[in-house]
Structure 1
Amino acid sequence: MAELSELEAGAPERSTRLIRIKEVQYRTGLGRSTIYRWMAQGRFPKTVHLGGHAVAWAEADIEFWIAARLS
């Protein structure tokens, strides 16, 4: 219910952007195989299923993962 009142009060809502594998590879510098292997090992964020065989990652999850590596 608090979420509804924040929206009604005009609080800015941040939408989560979904990014595909090519952008994830570009941002992280990792290859496709490494990304999927690390996902299976729990070392990389999981995908969001879009339907069929299409998947993407939440941009915020990737940004957080990168920031954790830099600290």
Structure 2
Amino acid sequence: MATIDFPDHLIALERSAWAEIQRGELTVETARAVHEAVVAFAAESGLARLDVEMGLKKAVRHPDPELAA
């Protein structure tokens, strides 16, 4: 899978969801906001929704240390 250039707002939404998941407090509203943003980004970019979702989770949960430096 190629690296996807995610917009800042999508990264921020996934970071919020991941923080809620880690605290055991994920809300339906947060999950829905991430899902809807992923679907919209996938449609706009012509990418498969699953590829966008998996890439976003990887970017937030397992960032490349070389890119973060």
Q: Give the TM-score normalised by the residue count of structure 2.
A: 0.28
Greater share of helix residues, 1 or 2? 2
Higher-Rg member (1/2): 1
Task: Return the structure number with greater relative CO, CA threshold 8 A, min gap 6.
Answer: 2
Q: Give the TM-score normalised by the residue count of structure 1.
A: 0.27
